[in-house]
Amino acid sequence: MSEIQKFLFDGLPVRGAIVRVDSPWQEVLTRRANNSETGAYPAGLSRVLGEMTAAGLLMQSNIHFDGALVLQIQGDGPVRLAVAEVKSDLRFRATATIAPSQQDKIAADATLKDMFNVHGQGRCAITLDADEKHPSYQPYQGIVSLMDEDGNTLPSLSEILQQYMRLSEQLDTVLIVAANETVAAGLLIQRIPVKGEGNLAGAQANTEEQDVLGHNEDFNRIATLAHSLAEQELLELDSDTILRRLFWQETLSRVDTQGREPHFGCQCDRERVSNMLRGLGQEEVSDMLEGDKPIEVGCEFCGAQYHFDAVDVAQIFSAPATNQNLQDGHQLH
Ligand SMILES: [Zn+2]
């Protein structure tokens, strides 16, 4: 079962979310495996991509934002790019690009360093791209390196994202994600300011100082419990069991997730691909036509194939452009 649950710790300025995705995650892997251009992901890479998907779902569910949250790792090693994109309704897609002839060289137990940070140039980027765009709109983007302060590659995506949150939001956050070939799952725990809208549980404090002290003690206790969650537990147990095991001494209130459920979905369509071709220019696109063979454009996210013959190409360059943005993730073959 795929689900996301959000919750508050009663009387404490701490909130959380837990996500578990099975068949929609398997669909991402199956579509890739069925793509004759790429073949299946190496196990080490599918694990990271699943972790990115779980993290993206948790982060998207944790903000009030209409648009796409895009988590990317740009690599300097055998994996050039890994992308997980989650829309506000928890529709997600994910893909990765492997450098030419490197597919077979990525070991099943490859680390983040092996795949993305061979020369220390790997980067993790989080982008918020709103649905409603004004002409001057710039998406928000935060970027962090994959290394700690001592120059060592961080061992897991969880630690990279925790570092990101520490450096950007300054909200104490625990983020634990795990994935395998069947499940992508994660747990997020976050300290929230006691004053303001986060104060749903009515926590009271006499002075500012006590307020701050109280926060930290409560958050630290819950964070320690969260950190005791083992990867295997996250992958194998259902969400209710995990929450009960970790937080049986705490009182949790569920937050309505408004029926939102993680599901796979790709936004590619023929019009977007046409716009992408239009952006390349008529000369270049006409050169791609070889005799009677149509141009084939494959979507890296879902594997859909779009074909354009000479008539289609002529039409693209005679019709007025629509105002959709150019989409990446399309590969010309
Ligand atoms: Zn697609």
pLDDT for the residue numbered 156:
94
Q: Is residue 202 located within the same domain as residue 286?
A: no
Question: For residue 92, how far is its CA from the centre of ligand 1 (angstroms)?
Answer: 11
Question: For residue 46, how far is its CA from the centre of ligand 1 (angstroms)?
Answer: 18
Question: For residue 273, how far is its CA from the centre of ligand 1 (angstroms)?
Answer: 10
Domain C-terminal end among 229, 248, 264: 264
Q: Is residue 216 located within the same domain as residue 287?
A: no
Question: For residue 91, how far is its CA from the centre of ligand 1 (angstroms)?
Answer: 13
| Cross-strand bridge partners of residue 151 | none
Q: Is residue 62 located within the same domain as residue 93?
A: yes
The count of domains in the chain is: 2
Task: Mention every residue, 6+ apart, whose C-beta is less than 8 A from residue 305.
Answer: 296, 297, 298, 299
Q: Is residue 166 located within the same domain as residue 275?
A: no
pLDDT for the residue numbered 122:
96
Average pLDDT over residues 221-247: 96
Question: For residue 37, how far is its CA from the centre of ligand 1 (angstroms)?
Answer: 15
Domain C-terminal end among 264, 291, 323: 264
pLDDT for the residue numbered 92:
98
User: 229 and 243 in contact (C-beta within 8 Å)?
Assistant: no
Structure tokens at 123: 């980067």
Domain that holds residue 280: 270-332
Mean pLDDT estimate for the chain: 88
Question: For residue 304, how far is its CA from the centre of ligand 1 (angstroms)?
Answer: 6
Question: For residue 298, how far is its CA from the centre of ligand 1 (angstroms)?
Answer: 8
Q: Is residue 210 located within the same domain as residue 281?
A: no
Q: Is residue 243 located within the same domain as residue 298?
A: no
Question: For residue 280, how far is its CA from the centre of ligand 1 (angstroms)?
Answer: 19
Q: Is residue 151 located within the same domain as residue 100?
A: yes
Average pLDDT over residues 11-19: 95
3-state class (DSSP) for residue 124: strand
Q: Is residue 259 located within the same domain as residue 162?
A: yes
pLDDT at 107 > cutoff 50: yes
Domain C-terminal end among 245, 264, 283: 264
pLDDT for the residue numbered 333:
53
The CATH number linked to 311 is 3.90.1280.10
305-308 vs 140-145, strand pairing mode: unpaired
Tell the burial category of 88 from Cβ atoms under 10 Å away from its Cβ (0-12, 13-18, 19+): middle
pLDDT at 320 > cutoff 70: no
Rounded Cα distance between 78 and 113, Å, is: 10
pLDDT at 33 > cutoff 70: yes
The CATH number linked to 134 is 3.55.30.10
Q: Is residue 135 located within the same domain as residue 212?
A: yes
Question: For residue 87, how far is its CA from the centre of ligand 1 (angstroms)?
Answer: 14
**Per mean pLDDT, which range of 229-243, 248-262, 306-320 is the poorest?**
306-320
